[in-house]
Structure 1
């Protein structure tokens, strides 16, 4: 199994970065995982802004040569792992800009005249590891589970990725946030997964 980790946080001393390290450590201990690629969107200097004009058309995003390296990373991955904080009830704009560009028509999905398109990334799975300042139940009860609906239904299932695992960690700025316990949980998961 090949894993692509898309890491989205500007600070390498953040808790998100600590979760990234646990993903990498656990994956390297797992005999079922052949390769772990890490795409650090901030370190990469990824430009999240969509630009369309007379020279750059939206319908051509799936063949944009500037994005080929990232398309190849997605193609070669069996599992996509997203590590990010939740800001304002959703992933950072940097990650959403990556999704806008990479999950393009004729690469991630194909219109087929039906209500839902054909997902071209079927067969892959995904894991979303997110942290937030507020309690975890805030997303579920106050925001109506908007984060999971966005990531699972509006994005991943739309492009054919049916198997999605979530780690939503709340109260992460609190001394009672049980950081070590949560870091170990992520490490355990990646050291043991078989698919």
Structure 2
């Protein structure tokens, strides 16, 4: 199975792009084929439209979201690369979760209301950046930009996730190249790639 990389940052020359490039480079060195989704370049529409709202009885899934579901179904390793903005994910990634991890695909509710996860057996590496130093982000801000994704979103669907965090990511420095290289290696080891 090819790993799936989901990239959610509009900047082409920032910390997330350093991590992306390093992940792609290390996969290339290992001759590992992969699928790559750049939500901004693919102009993903993060707005959940009424016809897609499953709680209202609608079951429409856009062709783009359907393709992403097929990519997720076809892998057991997912890599997310995104910044933490306002102690949360970028809106485009939140919309991705809303539109792609749908009831019937990623989970379902039993008649009792208890959820059943459908994406068990999958692992995700979350490569995240924040302007705050890592210690401050985790201790004082509570690491919510990652916990909501790792536990409350992916975990709800059965995906086990681990965070790889770059703090103080305000300006790119040469030292960040080495940091990105090491972080990419750790994340790929976690996924056994």
TM, length-normalised to structure 1: 0.86
Task: Please tell me whether the aligned partners of residues 62 and 105 of structure 1 are also in contact (alpha carbons under 8 angstroms).
Answer: no
- CA, structure 1 residues 116+138, in 2 after alignment: closer, same or farther (shift >3 Å)? farther
Which residue in the other structure is 1:16 paired with?
Answer: 16
Q: For the aligned residues, what is the CA RMSD?
A: 2.2
Alignment counterpart, residue 155 of structure 1, candidates 140, 148, 153: 153
Give the whole-Å Cα distance in 1 for the aligned partners of 2:23 and 2:69. 22
Give the whole-Å Cα distance in 2 for the aligned partners of 1:101 and 1:49. 8
Task: Please tell me whether the aligned partners of residues 171 and 177 of structure 1 are also in contact (alpha carbons under 8 angstroms).
Answer: no
Alignment of 1:1-195 (within 5 A): 1-30=1-30, 33=32, 35-52=33-50, 56-59=51-54, 60-61=58-59, 63-114=61-112, 116-162=114-160, 164-173=161-170, 178-189=175-186, 192=189, 193-194=191-192
**Structure 1: stretches of 5+ with no match in the other structure:** none
**Structure 2: stretches of 5+ with no match in the other structure:** none
- Note the C-alpha offset of 1:144: 2.1
- CA, structure 1 residues 179+106, in 2 after alignment: closer, same or farther (shift >3 Å)? same
TM, length-normalised to structure 2: 0.87
Which has the higher mean CA deviation after the structures are superposed, 113-122 or 59-68? 59-68
Which has the higher mean CA deviation after the structures are superposed, 56-65 or 10-19? 56-65
- CA, structure 1 residues 26+111, in 2 after alignment: closer, same or farther (shift >3 Å)? same
Task: Please tell me whether the aligned partners of residues 116 and 158 of structure 1 are also in contact (alpha carbons under 8 angstroms).
Answer: no
Task: Please tell me whether the aligned partners of residues 80 and 127 of structure 2 are also in contact (alpha carbons under 8 angstroms).
Answer: yes
Give the whole-Å Cα distance in 2 for the aligned partners of 1:42 and 1:21. 16
- Note the C-alpha offset of 1:116: 4.1
